[in-house]
Amino acid sequence: MSQVFDIDFESHRKPRIAGIDLGTTNSLVAFMDLTGPKVVPAPDGGNLVPSVVSYTAEGEFIVGSAAQRLLIDAPERTVYSVKRLMGRGIADVQEELSLFPFRIAPGSESVIRLELGERTLTPPEVSAHVLGELKRMAEAYIGEPVTQAVITVPAYFNDAQRQATKDAGRIAGLEVLRLVNEPTAAALAYGLDKREDAVVAVYDFGGGTFDISILRLHGGIFEVLATNGDTHLGGDDIDNRLLKIALEDVASEWGEDLSHNGEAVQTLRRAVIQAKEQLSFVPFTRIEFSYRGKTYRREITRELFRNLIHDIVERTLEPCRKCIADSGLTVEQIDEVVMVGGSTRIPMVRCAVESLFKAKPHTELNPDEVVALGAAVQAGILSGSVDDKLLLDVTPLSLGIETMGGVVSKLIHRNSTIPASAKEVFTTGVDGQTNVLIHVLQGERELVKDCRSLARFDLTGIDPMPAGAARVEVKFLIDANGILSVSARDLRTGKEHTVEVKPSYGLSEDQVEAMISESIAKAEQDFQERQVREARLEADTILTATEKARANDAWFDLSDEERQKISHSVNQLLLVYHSGDHNLIRSKIDELNEVTMKLAENMMNTAVRSALKGTHV
């Protein structure tokens, strides 16, 4: 056999790593197969799972298109676009909250706590539900457990946002092998490395974030030269613009302010999104919204739409110009432009990109799927099944430490290839001082107050000495995921120092651990329920078969005692059928199997005899 079928079965035994695009609006999961990356189909037939999570009054979580419907029916229990809240504190999202109908629980300074019905959830937990859904889909599709994943993030995500994404994966029971920047993933999916030496720009305008990356492709290496972006800019902003106008229209036409009515706002949001999407294909359309017997209609032309969103599109061009400057290249040296993200379907966006880069943008691949496909390619690189490609990505933001006078001293500059590291020697300022506090920040500005606080590290256990005598070398390392770690060494003794980390934003390790154990408990419960369901199915099969057998000749060949035993066993099984204990159900099934053994044999013999006689049973 093996000479005939020369297939490497070994390669299929390796655990398969999922490639996941955890998007603001939609999420997808993809795998590498023998012919290339493939997106896993969603239950509704499409490929996209809406990144919407609803917590029902019955205490169950619903994810995806089913949850999307609940945005209208149960807006106070349903959350969307949670990616915009990842790794952020309440002070960061005031603008969002004026438009999103989310209720925020107290204590949301460093991690936002969303109130969904009776539950309070952090953004990583909400994202974990989306990831859990993708995990289930993926497992059903490939027929084996999925425990490892590559997850994409906007290139311009900071440390806290990346960490939050990684936490979400862990809570969902996924080992996140790598976070990949979305534009870079898209470049992988396009396979533009076929050209021997090329420079490519990736313009990624999604639901909630905007990224631009410029890469050099050379012999299978994808080297990111520079990246820029805005993690607060996306299709959501366009929707909100249209929504605001429509709400004002409705207020003046109906004399009724609906902006605080969750159900009405969500219905109207649907209507404006539909109009927006249609305008990518037709020159004019209509926003139509019916509510409590009243109807609002408004014609909208592409021209008007263009004027409405002009400044939003313009806001994407400034990061592009900065990125080109940072790459050290001119526009003329950029060979190709790749378009990613649903918002790049808007004709005006394509025009703006074309005129800035003086090149016709690539739109061959579905802009909704290309990032997930790239994530699958990266998963292939990590599993070893793709060995002719390698991504060299960069850190989008400079990393620095607070020095005297509230000034930030930069240690690792933006657009440095990662992993990247920097070392700095610290000493004490007062006699007998035994610890040094280091404040780490991310950002390009000079002053601490204008940068984003990342974490405070406390170097402890320094021997008491005169001021300035201690010498502790601190190593800052940004890993291939763009996440910082810090280690310290005493230069006099060579001893490793302990570093206590106090992240400024995000969950602590203990909190993540607690969430993981909760989700494991939940998974255990799910597993139990499935076992019970399966046991009942098995019981159904044997009960039906036994019932049927009562009409067979073989039944009458049994002794009264044997027939009684079977009836007794059937009753026993029926008694435990509705218990929640699958072991009990199984043991009764076994008993029934045992006592019907002879019956089954008899039936078999009858069947054989009939077959020999050439008649049917």
Partner 1 sequence: MDYFSFFGLERKLTLDASRLQQRFYQLSKEYHPDRFAQKPAEERLKAEEASAILNDGYRVLRDPVQRAEYVLRQEGFDIGEQRSKDVPPELLEEVFELNMALEELRHGDEDARASLKEAHGKFVAMRAAADEELCALGRRYDETPGRDALQQIRALLNRRRYIRNLVAEVEKELA
Listed residue (299, 301, 339, 307) closest to 320, CA to CA: 339
Of 130, 136, 138, nearest to 40 by C-alpha is 138
Contact status: 512 vs partner 1 (CB under 8 A): no
Cβ closest to partner 1, residue 152 vs residue 596: 152
Residues 457-476 close enough to bind partner 1 by CB under 8 A: none
Q: Judge whether 166 and 85 are in contact, CB under 8 Å.
A: no
The verdict on whether 21 is a catalytic residue reads yes
For partner 1, the binding residue among 121, 418, 459, 532 (CB under 8 A) is 418
Q: Is 182 a catalytic residue?
A: yes
Looking at residue 10, its amino acid is E
Residue found under tokens 């029934």: 592
Q: Which residues contact 81 (CB under 8 A, 6 or more apart)?
A: 24, 25, 51, 100, 207, 208, 236
Establish if 177 lies at the interface with partner 1 (CB under 8 A).
yes
Specify the residue, 17 or 589, whose C-beta has the smaller distance to partner 1. 17
Smallest separation (angstroms) from partner 1 to the CB of 546: 51
Per-residue x/- track, 474-503, partner 1 (CB under 8 A) = ---x-xx-----------------------
Binding of partner 1 by 187 (CB under 8 A)? no
**Which residue from 381, 401, 441, 573 is in contact with partner 1, where contact means CB under 8 A?**
381
Q: Which amino acid is at 517?
A: S
For residue 477, give both structure tokens: 């390392």
Interacting residue with partner 1 among 356, 391, 474, 585 (CB under 8 A): 391
**Greatest Cα pair distance in the chain:** 107
Which one of 120, 259, 363, 383 is in contact with partner 1 (CB under 8 A)? Answer: 383
First vs last C-alpha separation in the chain: 40
Q: Using CB under 8 A, which residues numbered 336 to 375 contact partner 1?
A: none
Residue list 67-106, contact with partner 1 (CB under 8 A)? none
CA distances to 560, 571, 603 from 552, in Å: 15, 20, 7
Q: Pick the catalytic residue: 125, 167, 204, 237? A: 204
**8 A C-beta contact, residue 566 and residue 560:** no
Active site residue 204: yes
Asked if 417 interacts with partner 1 (CB under 8 A), we say: yes
Q: Per CB under 8 A, does 606 bind partner 1?
A: no
Q: Are strands 61-63 and 221-230 parallel, antiparallel or unpaired?
A: unpaired
Token pair belonging to 590: 């076994």
Distance of alpha carbon 598 from alpha carbon 49, whole angstroms = 52
Contact present, 534 and 582 (Cβ < 8 Å): yes
* Interaction pattern, residues 11-50, with partner 1; x per rule: CB under 8 A: ----------------------------------------
Q: Which of 219, 429, 464, 468 binds partner 1 (CB under 8 A)?
A: 219
Interface with partner 1 (CB under 8 A), residue from 88, 162, 166, 178 = 178
- 18 exposed, middle or buried (CB, 10 Å; 0-12, 13-18, 19+)? buried
Which residues would be at the binding site for partner 1 (CB under 8 A)? 177-178, 218-219, 221, 223, 378, 381-384, 390-392, 416-422, 477, 479-480
- Which positions are catalytic? 21, 83, 182, 204
